[in-house]
Amino acid sequence: MTLADPVTSHRAANRVVAGPLLSVIPGDQVRQPHPDKAISQRATLLAGLADGESRIHGLADCRDTRANLSVLARLGVRCRHTTDGVLLVRGVDGHALAYRGAGLDVGNSATTARLLIAVLAGSRSECTVTGNSSLRSRPMHWLVAPLRRLGADLRYGSRHGRLPVMIFGQRLRGGTVRADVDSAQAVSALLFGSLLADSDITIDRRTAARDHTERLLRWAGIPVLERGNLIRVTPGRPAAFELSVPGDPSGAAVLAALHLASPYAANRLRLTGVCLNPRRLGFFTIIERMGVPVRYDACPWSSPEPVGDILIGPRADLKAGTIRGAALIQSAIDELPLIAALATLADGPTTVRNAADLRDKDTDRIAGMAALLRAFGVTVQTYGDGLTVHPSRPHAPRVARLPPDHRLIFAAFVLAALASGSTELSGVSACATSYPGFLADAAHYLDLRHE
């Protein structure tokens, strides 16, 4: 099945004029978020190493997932879409993988880069993994260092600690290794690398962050044991599997934030078919603490993840407070810009701390969010690991030029929904990184005109 390029399809809509809705249809609202990107990326790579043909239903169609599929094709993994939208992936044996072609360019996908480096490090491949200019500025040392301690031969190209990374594959050895950052990508990459080791690997992590990889590995028959902050994985080839990808909690958070920022906030919103992994629900935990009613209704789903509906609202006055703690921050790390935008409605200053990871994302999201809030007339203070938002109604600037960061773009639309007047948002096409259908969904909550 041929799919339209989600990036190309957004180029014509790189600028929009956004303003608040003047009228709404009364009554409770129902929305279904797009499929989960994080699960889709991990599932496609795992299927590429599995023994047999895996079937993935409802794969997220976005730029980062396409980076995964493009790399898998270069590695000789056969992937095809059926007419009813199922992705079929026939895996290859990672131990027999001996890719020696041109460099593997993953575009802007950090997840693809990091998981791929770990897999190829334990194979017989000799190649280079690189990405676009934005990804080449992001840190890789906290992945490369523990892989080297497991015997990986990895070398940097032009800049220490950054892509490109040259890989001289060889069998990894077992043992205990520490993940020195809170990000789940460090643990996920080491788990993928563990599949090709010569004996068990134990990962000592700092924080119990999102555990999609652990759940997927067990779904495919790989023994993964968790005890506190320790994870032990037994090497082996995954079995082929069938999986239905649930709705993205991050996408659900975007819809919830827009709902709460719009006149629809007087009604309730039901978000259907969402992944209810507790390590991904930090946004909803935070807005509940701020005074928004939140309820979860479980439903059956063919997935290693709990899945169900999220019912939120109606919105009352939002309570201010301090958001901190490694586990809570990691469970909301991608949605903290949305929280910062909603904090303009709170009854006092809202502070986010322990979020230094935000500085190493697609952009420096602490600096970027502060600049965005100031562009809308909001007072904000920044720290090395967070920020404080002082509440006030946002004022629409004539033009807001957005950074190439989908998470900040989503927050900009929330601010536009809250502001009085309209603003031209320039640079919105980067939302295709994770959410190609965003503009169509946002049009339900804002008055949008394409330029």
Name the residues annotated as catalytic: 334
What is the token pair recorded at 447? Answer: 């008055």
386-389 and 380-383 beta bridge pairing: antiparallel
Query: How is residue 196 annotated by DSSP?
Result: T
The dihedral over CA atoms of 135, 136, 142, 144, expressed in degrees to the nearest 10, equals 120
Q: Say which amino acid occupies 172.
A: L
Question: ∠ at Cα 441 (407, 37), nearest 5°?
Answer: 50
Dihedral sign of CA atoms 289, 431, 76, 81 in order: positive
Tell the burial category of 7 from Cβ atoms under 10 Å away from its Cβ (0-12, 13-18, 19+). middle
Pair 346, 319: CB distance under 8 Å: yes
Q: Say which amino acid occupies 260.
A: L
Indicate the length of the chain as a whole number.
451
Backbone angles phi, psi at 155, to 5 degrees: -135, 145
The dihedral over CA atoms of 166, 169, 175, 178, expressed in degrees to the nearest 10, equals 20
What is the token pair recorded at 99? Answer: 């890719």
Alpha-carbon gap, residue 330 to 343, rounded angstroms: 19
Pair 270, 309: CB distance under 8 Å: yes
